[in-house]
Structure 1
Amino acid sequence: MAPPTDPDRSALAGDTVRRIMHIAAALRHHQDVEVAGLGLTPATARALDELDPDRPLPARDLAERLRCDRSNVTALVDKLEQAGLVERRTDPADRRQKALVVTADGRRVRERVRLVMSDSRLLDGLRTEELATLRELAWKVSDGGCPERCGPD
């Protein structure tokens, strides 16, 4: 038998979820606009962000990181390569494979993408104590179903 529910708590939780979704949509909108200004789509920006400039990566590993089909990664890498941000090179560890290497331009654009992805202007109105509380609550809520990358860097 399910425990009884508190209608006020349920309404409060529902409103909170809607607010979180609104914040996420606002963040996504700002990021999409900024990323477009760099000549990237949200998908290509995410792919570039996942690549470590100091460690070439096979496309199949990038597909795993992005949790998408390898054929989608091929199209993303094609766009990044056409923009001069990534090169496909023979993988020295397995000459049958190509590794994705971030170019010098790719490094610069990747740094800008990382700044865009951490843009916090929506939080400017919060005092430091409020921001710390929000971070703590977000961490507490996200810890239950968040992918590994949610942990501190």
Structure 2
Amino acid sequence: MTLPSAGAAATGRAGLAGDTVRRIMHVASAMRHYQDEEIAALGLTPAVARALDELDPDRPLPARDLAEQLRCDRSNVTALVDKLERAGLVERRVDRADRRQKTLVVTEAGRAMRDRVRRVMSDSRLLAGLTPDELATLRELVWKVSDGGCPQECGPR
């Protein structure tokens, strides 16, 4: 496979790395665009969908822990959880182990929506032109670079 030449900008390691980063950002932006459209079609915002995706339907979670997972302020999580609760996707319940605390429980409707969100977030239409071998190589390369700077576990979920 011959890649288009980016001219003088891609000469040398720094130029090649810079061009690669710009292409990765372009692909990420295109993926985000498609995901945002499909998430909106589900009646969710990207932030609400991400919050739902972070919740484990089999393990109730305190809102403060969700805030840590999302790396955002608790007040932002409160608004996200309010939206999830209004949509019937989660419920706030008293924690059996600590009655002073409430946990977030994914409802049956939330489980179904979470599955739909996960399918949207795994949309691979931009990779359709790759052969299985190219896709395997790309996955290995992406894992190689992401494991070096990922703030969280980067393996398959």
Equivalent position of 2:74 in the other structure: 70
CA offset digits 1:112-139 (Å, max 9, x no partner): 0011111111100000111111111111
CA offset digits 1:20-50 (Å, max 9, x no partner): 0000000111111111111111100010011
Q: After TM superposition, where is structure 1 displaced by more than 6 Å over at least 4 residues in a row?
A: none
CA offset digits 1:27-86 (Å, max 9, x no partner): 111111111111111100010011111111110111111111111000000000011101
Equivalent position of 1:47 in the other structure: 51
Identity %: 78
Q: Cα RMSD (Å) of the superposition?
A: 1.3
SS of residue paired to 2:150: coil
Whole-Å Cα distance in 2 between the matches of residues 36 and 147 of structure 1? 27
C-alpha displacement of 1:143: 1.4
Equivalent position of 2:41 in the other structure: 37
Give the alignment's TM-score, normalised by structure 2. 0.90
Whole-Å Cα distance in 2 between the matches of residues 149 and 116 of structure 1? 21
Equivalent position of 2:91 in the other structure: 87
Whole-Å Cα distance in 2 between the matches of residues 33 and 76 of structure 1? 19
Equivalent position of 1:148 in the other structure: 152
Give unpaired runs (5+ residues) of structure 1: 1-5
Whole-Å Cα distance in 2 between the matches of residues 152 and 41 of structure 1? 24
Equivalent position of 2:4 in the other structure: none
Give unpaired runs (5+ residues) of structure 2: 1-9
SS of residue paired to 2:101: strand
- 2:111 counterpart letter in structure 1: R
